Structure 1
Amino acid sequence: MTLPGATVELTFAPVRAGDDGELVHDWMNRSHVVPWWQLGVPLEEIRGYLAGLTHLRPWLVSAHGTPFGYVETYEVAADPLAAYYPAQAGDQGFHLLVGPLSMIGTGVPRLMGRAVLAWLLNRGERAVCEPDVRNGRMLAYCDRLGLSSLGEVDLPEKRAAVLACTRAEFDARWPGDRAAVSAVASAGGAS
């Protein structure tokens, strides 16, 4: 898919634990990822993690055919996060990371975030994420995408900032993105 105003083509493909495990393992063990994901573990543990996901849907994101991002999407009602903030029916959640440091600052990760939010907001009225409050890079990233704070919560593994974006807020900031993602999904593409 290509979002309005962008020249980069993004593809989202479901992660396959066997085929994609080595790449996800590599990224999870990078110094800019380990503190936030806490999955700097051996390859077989990553494959087990990926194979064992139930309510989280893992995606591998590529730009012009080159993988650079990992995303997990989920319905908040099925996640423990729902107990920690005033969740609304239909809230959609996400986690994401950029593997190669060379991609950070290129603008491509922001396109990934826009596509993820567009996809989620085509399914619910609000999208949320819960980065660690110490992760300044992720907090700034989410701010640039248009998410705003719902407050901080103490989760079992971290103090988190619960951030959200409504469909109306997203559409005002990124007009046309939801339609572009919907068109790809309707055509049978991985969105």
Structure 2
Amino acid sequence: MPSAEAYAFRPVTEADLPMLERWLNAPHVRRWWGEPATEVAGIREDFDDPRMEAFVVLHAGTPFAYLQSYRIDADDLSFGDRPDRTIGIDQFIGPSDMVGIGHGPAMIDAFADKVFADGMERIVLDPHPDNAHAIRAYEKAGFHAFDQCMTKDGPALMMARDRC
């Protein structure tokens, strides 16, 4: 697995949106994410939402992935009983030649190190139960499944990683 130090997270800007839309159109991303134009519009809307943070992930200085983190609302019970300092994350790797070589677990691990150092207690995510590739990457990054449920986006395997 690549070293966590090789990754950087910079906030998404308006200038990044065309690149994100190209990535969202890639077959390996589009299978699990929504309509690319709609997803980009949602990312743009989230610029003004203080609960959301969106990042372009860089490896060795080159953009290759998207990661968003969000505060879990207190009334959102889909992530179960959890500490107050819990965030959810969603992410994808854009270029297909960067998939399947260890970048997913490594970048998620690097992000976890960052947010745990900032005081977060838990990170949760909710991949589709059929997305075996993502689930394996999350397990490699230290996440464990704790539930399966139906969300507004469809079936989800609920996974979490706690700060050590």
For the aligned pair, the TM-score class normalised by the smaller chain equals 0.7 to 0.9
| Residue correspondences, number | 158
Gaps in structure 2 of 5+ consecutive residues = none
Kindly provide the amino acid, as one letter, of the partner of residue 17 in structure 2: G
Q: Quick one: percent identity of the two aligned structures?
A: 22
3-state SS, counterpart of residue 97 of structure 2: helix
User: Quick one: distance in 2 between partners of 1:87 and 1:39?
Assistant: 32
The 1:7–1:95 alpha-carbon spacing in structure 2 relative to 1, beyond 3 Å, is closer
C-alpha contact (below 8 Å) 1:77/1:90 kept by paired residues: no
Q: Normalized per residue, which structure has more strand? A: 2
- TM-score normalised over the length of structure 1: 0.75
Matched with 1:92 is 87
Q: Name the stretch that deviates more: 133-142 or 118-127.
A: 118-127
Matched with 1:109 is 104
3-state SS, counterpart of residue 89 of structure 2: strand
Give 1:10 deviation, angstroms: 1.7
User: Quick one: distance in 1 between partners of 2:34 and 2:61?
Assistant: 27
Matched with 2:24 is 28
C-alpha contact (below 8 Å) 2:58/2:65 kept by paired residues: yes
Give 1:106 deviation, angstroms: 2.4
Structure 1 runs (4+) greater than 4 angstroms displaced? none
Matched with 2:159 is 163
User: Quick one: distance in 2 between partners of 1:129 and 1:6?
Assistant: 22
3-state SS, counterpart of residue 77 of structure 1: coil
Matches within 5 A, 1:22-101: 22-41=18-37, 45-53=38-46, 54=49, 55-77=51-73, 82-88=76-82, 89-101=84-96
2:126 counterpart of 1:135: no
3-state SS, counterpart of residue 3 of structure 2: coil
User: Quick one: distance in 1 between partners of 2:115 and 2:143?
Assistant: 13
C-alpha contact (below 8 Å) 2:4/2:107 kept by paired residues: no
Over aligned residues, Cα RMSD in angstroms?
2.0
Matched with 1:150 is 146
Give 1:47 deviation, angstroms: 4.5
Residue among 102, 110, 115 paired with 1:120? 115
Q: Name the stretch that deviates more: 6-15 or 92-101.
A: 6-15
- TM-score normalised over the length of structure 2: 0.87
Residue among 10, 22, 25 paired with 1:13? 10
User: Quick one: distance in 1 between partners of 2:131 and 2:57?
Assistant: 21
User: Quick one: distance in 1 between partners of 2:40 and 2:144?
Assistant: 33
